[in-house]
Structure 1
Amino acid sequence: METFSIGDVDLVCPLDASRAAAALLDDRGMVIGWNEKARELLGYRAKDVVGLPAAQLLADENGARPGASVTDQPMTGTVILRHQDGHRVSFGIQACRVRQASGVGWLLVGAARTALSRWRMKQAILKGLFAQSPIGLAVYDTDQQLTWVNVAGDEVLAGLIGARADTMLPDVEYLSGLDDNDDTTRALERLLRTGEPLTTLTRARPPRDAERHHVWSSTIFRLRDETGEILGLCDAFTDVTTRYNDQQRLLLLSEAGLHISGRLDMTEIAAGLISVCVPRFAAAVTVDIEDPLLHGGESPFTTEVPALTRVAQNAIHERYLDADPPPYAVHYPAESAQTRSWTTGQAVTSKIRSATPAAGAPVSEPDDEPAEQLLVPLRTPRATIGMVTFLRSAQFDPFAEDDVSLAEELAARAAVSLDNAWRYAREHATALTLQQSLLPSGLPSQTAVEVAHRYLPARSSAGVGGDWFDLIPLSGTRVALVVGDVVGHGLQAAATMGRLRTTVRALANLDLAPDELLARLDDLVSQTPSAQEGPAAAEDTIGASCLYAVYDPVTRLCSIARAGHLPPAIVLPDGTVRLADAPAGPPLGVGGLPFETAEIELPEASVLALFTDGLVETRVRDLDTGLQRLQDLLAHPDLPLEKTCDRLVDALLHENPEDDAAILLARTHSLPEDAVTTWQLPPDPSVVADARALATDQLSAWNLEEAAFSTELIVSELVTNAIRYASGPISLRLIRDRSLICEVTDTGFTSPHLRRATNDEEGGRGLFLVAQCTERWGTRYHQGGKTIWAEQRLVS
């Protein structure tokens, strides 16, 4: 196969008289002249062929010979000649008539057909580059002036011959190839000096298509002649606009996905969308969303444009935006392009002359910069929920069909994320409402402790959790402090939390010891249907934790039991902080392991801090670090509890907590010594009268004579029952607090029952009378027996 090297730059035609084989014939076809090149190609010397008929040199003597047809025009063709050594040589020849002194003759020039074929191929290549190739060629002289372009180059640089390279196209942007501190002139001077080719990606508007930007991939190289002299530069460039724009659209879609996917806040989604679109896709972008959806509400499902709220906007210049920062309400006139886009559900483009594109109908102001806006509705399978407005100023290309498709794809992806965010907001609002309704709206008033509390729901994608707290007044001025945490988030966790809190309050009314209360709570959790169906179904209860503490202001003892929960922090009046040494029981629902109660004596004005793990443990802070930080913050017992709560929230919970957190702070108080009186009584019926007298005298000392009658009745009945149904010593105690409390303790474990006696019964009416005289009464058990107590409201 005939081949040739691209590097062979010899473009002179082989039939040129200066290099071709030549023979001169007379009018009879006899050879009368023969040059050296002919001898090199055919082997014959001039003396061997001069005087011979030229036809003898033909391999086929019957072939046509030059001059067979009389013409004054040059003739070309291919002949087969015989070499001196006998082999055949294919020759390309050109023949023309010449006038000689002896008459008209012929001049024949020729070359080997292979050399002629190579030259013709080079000519075809050059012709293709100059006239047919889509690759543009531009030649600049050493002064960087344009001197020549091929046909493809003329499509871009029409009418620019003689212009300098740095002034030909306005607003040229080098996408690659030049540094930010470089320019065209310096780059070309460096190329002329060093000879190192320059490859660039250039963006500009050509004269023949001034409305749209084109992108060219360009390679510029130095031109030198055979002597090495630098003649100028050649720029070979290709229009890659379509490919470049397609790549940029794919990149924009990819980056938009990163900015909007996985987010559950509508404002963040809208901000993420516009952050990637300005300035790469538009000069300004605004996002409007139906107002009810921002708060978890329902769409009005109307064909008209509903009330919208602008949640995000961004632009390359503030003149393209409304003056008010989002969020704010927007309204579109009935005849506006926005309304047409909303009602049809289709993207709409419109020309405007307004610096503020999204305030409603276009404003016609002659001095304003002409612009074009593209309106794309945010559609979900349910309805249209908002609108995205893209604005392009004169420095951008008009919106093309591919741009509209890209904008619709961006809006579709944003709509999916916004719909997910709306569903999350609705569920989050429902769960939060449920949880807040299940948490105590206000803690009851009592004397034992001064309290402050906080509950902060999670703001992450996990949603509302199951943290809770409570304060439960108990008999004898005691108070129960409770805090708990349910594994999981959402409605299920909130509902489970409500069930646990209700159960704890019911069990607390039985005056159970902390360890016994947790044991019964654990049994109930283990017996729930979800717990019996297996771990997957029971995840809302298995793993729930609870801390239950009872503080007695009379003895200043605090009894603590915990089920898989962190221990409380104790802050002593001198500022010493430590975690309570309370045994850790298993989480609720595990079953099979016992719970233990620890008793701690607390000085007056100590602070007991109960909390959930969301306060101290995060992804970036381990538990030990969080607990130490908590203790440092609590080491200020002189601060008001409300201020301490604020300090804990500010220091330990960032703006977007990953888990919900509950805090319950309690500053302990003790009853004055003169507010409690206790008597030990023998189990003898005769002491009943003495007990009444002792109680009456104490009431007189407390200036509570108005309660003497009812108190005598209560003491008489409770002491009589203790003597009748129990054995061992009896204790009578009166406590003056916000109410008057009478307690009788004995060694029996039989609980009295309130019943209505029949008309023929002499007894059985005592507890009924006690119930009528008191605000509430009950029984609590302890290791040595039981205590029956009754509270009377004191009239202030």
Structure 2
Amino acid sequence: MAHDPARWAAVAPPLLQPLLDALSDSPLAFACYGADRRYLTISQTLADLNGLPPQAHLGLLPTDVLGPELGGAIEAAAARVLADGKPYREPEQRLSRGEWSGVRYLDSSWTPVRGADGEVLAVLAVVNDVTDRHRIADLLGSTQWRIGKLQTVARELAGALTIGEVRAAVAKLGQVTGASRVDLRLLDPVGRSPWPSPMRPARSPESDEATPHRPGSPSAPTVPPQRASVPRTAVEDDRWEWRTLAWPALLAAAVRDGRPCYLSDRAALCGRFPEAGEWAASAAPGAAEQAWAVLPLSTAVGPVGGLYLAYDAPRGFDEDDRAYLQALAGQCTMAVARARMHEREHRQVVSLQEAILPKRLPPLDGIDAAFRYIPGSLDTEVGGDWYDLFAFNDGRIGMVVGDVIGKGITAAAGMGRVRAALRALAFTDPAPSAVLTGLDRLFDATENAESLTTVVYAVLDPGSGALRMSDAGHLPLLVRQADGRARYLDADEDEAATPLGLSEERREHEVLLNPGDVVIGFSDGLVETRDAAITVGLERLRTAVERAPLVDLDTLLDHLVDEMLRDQEQDDDVTLLAVRIGG
């Protein structure tokens, strides 16, 4: 940014120069004009737009630099603010100059710069080049372009698993439609309760606009309700009012009526809704929203919400435009329905897992125990993690952590079957190798290839400290020794074991633990990320265990969850089970 130091020092308030210096590296296009309307300062972005270096502007009138048409308009706007001291927004201008390739569209905001005594000393103008938005609007006339963009939007929405992701994809519709504002509003998913009867305004033959029912936001006109052609109960009115309280009035009306609403400019707004004339007349000439397309989102069971598109310049909506926008609305409707179904299934699977998994661990002699189970986030499918802890008649303890390979209801149900079978086999013969061999036979006889399951199972004698373990493709147990050091235990250090369903000879591994040692079993959701190999996660976990304060097991597990999941995107369920000897 460049400015005229001598003239600038005479008029610049102390706080303005630091602000403009902070903006100097931004893409913002702005200039400051003195009381004589000459340039005091100009940003590099605006100077580039004018096709001249910043220094070529300073001390000159805009007409000296830009010619009588554009320069005269700038001087007139500056003179207006200098005279009345009020902020001013210049309506969008269509301009063509020799230095530019084609036509440009600019809008600008003008703000007075006051001295300590309140006197207007200068004028700050911020210019916004909206040419690209017009180019996008022109491209809407191309059928091939529309189809390509519709496919792009469909791909974005098809990958959205949650309502939040749907909103993020819908936000990009502004780039596709040329809209300056895109707003997706959804009704609460309350099921198939009665809907209010549509409220129909008087229509012209070609009209497909609905009259708003209640006061709207500043961006949508306030229109008093008209008399309904079909009587409605007060309960229906109140229910609708409550559910759309924060919506733009046009959007609430379109969803309530079940028909799209297209308004090409403010004249069309006043023609369709005479009651909106006072609102439109009082709006500033340069107010942003000048045209609207509002579309309901409906499924077979009723409306789910609406799509609000606003444009900052008048525009027509021909038959192709309307078909295109309705196709976009259809894609949004399917994405919302799919996301709600996914979220509903996610809640069901979490509820199923929570019903199967123990809410608390049993009090067992000779040990302390704690667990953590954290379901995957909404944008991931819940898997089949489980944990278990139980005692045998001779005082030994069975400890299990497993994971059914798969997602959703199928994985959760499979986890329940395997957990029950493991317990039954363990109480018949507690030996880890015998239990996993029995599970292999069960899988060979009853489960399919999609039900592969990893599990680590150990039997601990709290009196002697002997721990015998066997695993089927699961991650190793981690031992934090009483002296603070941590190490991994593998049932077979020479060869990785296969999951259940891929039968092999199951081996056992025995270690001797000391009082105060803590054995930790965990699932891959704790250590596996998209950006790093699992070996990196395992080393991070070992380091976190060694650094953890061991006040009690709950504190230890909270520390591990925080250390491992902080700043990480959780892609899977997370399960931990910790047992300390000599508690």
TM bucket normalised to smaller? 0.5 to 0.7
Which of 101, 107, 122 aligns to 1:199? It is 101
Which of 479, 497, 508 aligns to 2:415? It is 497
Counterparts of 1:565 and 1:557 in 2: how far apart (Å)?
A: 21
Aligned residue for 1:640? 552
| Larger relative contact order (CA 8 Å, sep ≥ 6) | 2
Counterparts of 1:199 and 1:334 in 2: how far apart (Å)?
A: 41
Aligned residue for 2:537? 626
Aligned residue for 1:472? 390
Which of 574, 577, 583 aligns to 2:483? It is 574
Counterparts of 1:399 and 1:647 in 2: how far apart (Å)?
A: 59
Aligned residue for 1:288? 185
Query: What is the Cα deviation at residue 499 of structure 1?
Result: 0.4
Identity of aligned residues (%): 28
**1:165-216 per-position Cα deviation (integer Å, ceiling 9, x unaligned):** 7669974467xxxxxxxx94xx55xxxxxxxxx63244489xxxxxxxx999
**1:727-761 per-position Cα deviation (integer Å, ceiling 9, x unaligned):** xxxxxxxxxxxxxxxxxxxxxxxxxxxxxxxxxxx
8 Å Cα contact 1:289-1:386 kept in structure 2:
yes
Query: What is the Cα deviation at residue 560 of structure 1?
Result: 0.9
8 Å Cα contact 2:260-2:294 kept in structure 1:
yes
Normalised to the residue count of structure 1, the TM-score between the two structures is: 0.47
Aligned pair 1:564/2:504, yes or no?
no
Which of 265, 269, 272 aligns to 2:162? It is 265
Aligned residue for 1:367? 282
**Superposition pairs for residues 531-550 of structure 1, below 5 Å?**
531=448, 538-540=449-451, 543-550=452-459
Letter in 1 for 2:101: T
- Give the alignment's Cα RMSD to 1 decimal: 4.0
8 Å Cα contact 1:215-1:244 kept in structure 2:
no
Counterparts of 2:427 and 2:136 in 1: how far apart (Å)?
A: 79
Distance 1:490 1:334, change over 3 A: closer
Query: What is the Cα deviation at residue 334 of structure 1?
Result: 13
SS at match of 2:450: coil
**Superposition pairs for residues 223-262 of structure 1, below 5 Å?**
243-246=138-141, 253=150, 256-257=153-154, 259-262=156-159
Letter in 2 for 1:397: P
Distance 1:336 1:585, change over 3 A: closer
**Greater share of strand residues, 1 or 2?**
1
8 Å Cα contact 2:162-2:378 kept in structure 1:
no
Aligned residue for 2:317? 400
Aligned pair 1:379/2:298, yes or no?
yes
Counterparts of 2:306 and 2:179 in 1: how far apart (Å)?
A: 15
Counterparts of 2:197 and 2:480 in 1: how far apart (Å)?
A: 62
**Superposition pairs for residues 245-644 of structure 1, below 5 Å?**
245-246=140-141, 253=150, 256-257=153-154, 259-277=156-174, 281-292=178-189, 298-300=191-193, 302=195, 320=219, 330-331=243-244, 337-338=250-251, 340-349=253-262, 365=279, 367-369=282-284, 371-392=290-311, 395-401=312-318, 402-459=320-377, 462-528=380-446, 530-531=447-448, 538-540=449-451, 543-583=452-492, 584-591=496-503, 593-635=504-546, 636=548, 638-644=550-556
Counterparts of 2:243 and 2:277 in 1: how far apart (Å)?
A: 16
Query: What is the Cα deviation at residue 386 of structure 1?
Result: 0.9
Distance 1:450 1:334, change over 3 A: closer
Distance 1:383 1:617, change over 3 A: same
Letter in 2 for 1:367: S
Query: What is the Cα deviation at residue 652 of structure 1?
Result: 2.4
Query: What is the Cα deviation at residue 478 of structure 1?
Result: 2.1
- 5+ residue gaps in structure 2? 1-66, 75-90, 108-129, 199-216, 222-240, 268-274
8 Å Cα contact 1:284-1:320 kept in structure 2:
no
SS at match of 2:362: coil
**Greater share of helix residues, 1 or 2?**
2
- How many residues matched? 421
SS at match of 2:394: helix
Distance 1:470 1:363, change over 3 A: farther
Query: What is the Cα deviation at residue 571 of structure 1?
Result: 0.7
Query: What is the Cα deviation at residue 465 of structure 1?
Result: 0.6
Query: What is the Cα deviation at residue 363 of structure 1?
Result: 11
Counterparts of 1:243 and 1:466 in 2: how far apart (Å)?
A: 51
**1:234-280 per-position Cα deviation (integer Å, ceiling 9, x unaligned):** xxxxx999854425866764664464330111122123313442797
8 Å Cα contact 2:156-2:169 kept in structure 1:
yes
Counterparts of 1:336 and 1:637 in 2: how far apart (Å)?
A: 57
Query: What is the Cα deviation at residue 336 of structure 1?
Result: 6.3
Aligned residue for 2:203? none
Counterparts of 1:282 and 1:619 in 2: how far apart (Å)?
A: 35
Distance 1:660 1:242, change over 3 A: closer
SS at match of 2:475: coil
8 Å Cα contact 2:550-2:556 kept in structure 1:
no
- 5+ residue gaps in structure 1? 1-161, 175-182, 189-197, 206-213, 217-238, 306-317, 323-327, 354-360, 532-537, 671-796
Normalised to the residue count of structure 2, the TM-score between the two structures is: 0.63
8 Å Cα contact 1:458-1:658 kept in structure 2:
yes
Letter in 1 for 2:308: T
8 Å Cα contact 2:244-2:252 kept in structure 1:
no
Letter in 2 for 1:565: H
Query: What is the Cα deviation at residue 608 of structure 1?
Result: 0.4
Distance 1:578 1:173, change over 3 A: farther
**1:583-612 per-position Cα deviation (integer Å, ceiling 9, x unaligned):** 254321222x22122221111111101011
Counterparts of 2:337 and 2:573 in 1: how far apart (Å)?
A: 24
Query: What is the Cα deviation at residue 438 of structure 1?
Result: 1.1
Counterparts of 2:323 and 2:473 in 1: how far apart (Å)?
A: 56
**1:104-129 per-position Cα deviation (integer Å, ceiling 9, x unaligned):** xxxxxxxxxxxxxxxxxxxxxxxxxx
Counterparts of 2:250 and 2:219 in 1: how far apart (Å)?
A: 18
Distance 1:509 1:215, change over 3 A: closer
Which of 666, 676, 683 aligns to 2:579? It is 666
8 Å Cα contact 2:376-2:573 kept in structure 1:
yes
Letter in 2 for 1:605: G
8 Å Cα contact 2:220-2:249 kept in structure 1:
no
Query: What is the Cα deviation at residue 399 of structure 1?
Result: 4.8
8 Å Cα contact 2:459-2:467 kept in structure 1:
yes
Query: What is the Cα deviation at residue 505 of structure 1?
Result: 1.9
